[in-house]
Amino acid sequence: MKIVVVIPAYNEEKVVGEVVHAAIKEGFSVIVVDDGSTDRTGEIAREAGAKIYRHIINLGLGATLATGLMAARRYNPDIVVTMDADGQHRAQDIPLLIKPLENLRADFVVGSRFLGKSFRKRDESVPAIRWFYNLFGNLITYFLFGVKTTDSQSGLRALNSRALEKINIQSLEMEVSSEFFKEIKNNNLRLEEVPIKGIYTEYSMSKPDLGKTQNLLTGVKTLFNLFLHRFTK
Amino acid sequence: MILFKILFLFFVLLILIRLGKRFKKRQIKITNFLIWLFFWLIAGTIVIYPESTSYLARFLGVGRGADVIIYFSLAIIFYFIFYFTIRLHVIDSKIAKIVRNISLREGKDEN
């Protein structure tokens, strides 16, 4: 079973090496798509053993994931996993994540930080504001694309080769997380969720661009882009 | 009012000259050239004969000629905002495609 891990990365030189290393240690091939980083993200990932694809300018998460999936197709994988570069996902969770694919129960698996957990019982590492942000994202995803999910914003996903072939990502930025669900629905893919633990380290919470990815304005922009996607194809 | 008319007509004239130059250099398509020519000629006419808009106002059931102009202007401006938003989106997607192709090509050689 050939498994390729795709990691979109933008200015993550402090942690990307560790993340790549952990995934390779688990026996996976790793592709890092460097989204026009201004630091040494690409070099460090390459030194850690990843294959590197580099955007010459910064495009955004959606465009980076799309490049990653296209690059992954070159290696004819049975399964492709996407995970964040900032260390909030554990490579050790991947075997559990891909179980539903190996058992042929699903075509697409989402690693959910919220599955089976209420607001009160949420992981102590999940900040309250993130919980509500995610709930809102889930509702929007359901409202626009008709797919029920407990973690619409999760960056940990696994696709089998059928899903990899069918899914066509158009988003350029954060709205990509919800677009995956649109593609799941449009292509009649079988979705399953697997509970995972999100690790919000001091690093991932204190990133300089956190303000950029989590603020209200980005949320509104993401929402607008989602509407645009809903009614354009 | 006279001063406003002179200034505005001067402004329209400048725009028409620029428009003509661009068309001559083939920087804009003939359809765009005609649309803008028509637009600015009408704007000029309205400034010279502001009463002409009252006919239109009466016809459309809007109180004053000046109001008709404002409604139309707003509609046109909003249309352009919408149009440019979509255009920007299209251009963004095209840039992404170019950047992706370069990265996939380079990646093929390096990895």
Residue B96 tokens, joined: 């992404």
The pLDDT of residue A212 is 47
Q: pTM here?
A: 0.79
Q: How far is CA A107 from CA A39, A110, B43, in A?
A: 36, 10, 60
Report yes or no: B81 at the A interface, CB cutoff 8 Å.
Answer: no
List, in order, residues 6 or more apart from A178 with CB less than 8 Å away: A137, A140, A141, A144, A145, A152, A153, A226
Which amino acid is residue A123, in one-letter code? D
ipTM surpassing 0.90, yes or no?
no
Q: What is the pLDDT of residues B49-63, one digit of tens each?
A: 888 888 888 888 877
Complete domains list, chain A, with CATH: 3-230 (3.90.550.10)
pLDDT per residue, tens digit, chain A (233 aa), is 899 999 999 999 999 999 999 999 999 999 999 999 999 999 999 999 999 999 999 999 999 999 999 999 999 999 999 999 988 899 999 999 999 999 999 999 999 988 877 777 777 667 778 788 888 889 989 988 889 999 988 999 999 999 999 999 998 988 898 899 999 999 999 999 999 887 766 666 665 444 445 566 777 778 878 877 776 65
Chain A residues touching residue B89 (CB < 8 angstroms):
228
List the single residue in A53, A74, A172 with the smallest CB-CB distance to B103.
A53
For residue A71, give how far its alpha carbon lies from the nearest alpha carbon of chain B (Å): 7
Report yes or no: B98 at the A interface, CB cutoff 8 Å.
Answer: no
For residue A57, give how far its alpha carbon lies from the nearest alpha carbon of chain B (Å): 7
What residue segments make up the domains of chain B, in order of their start?
1-49, 65-111
The pLDDT of residue A233 is 54
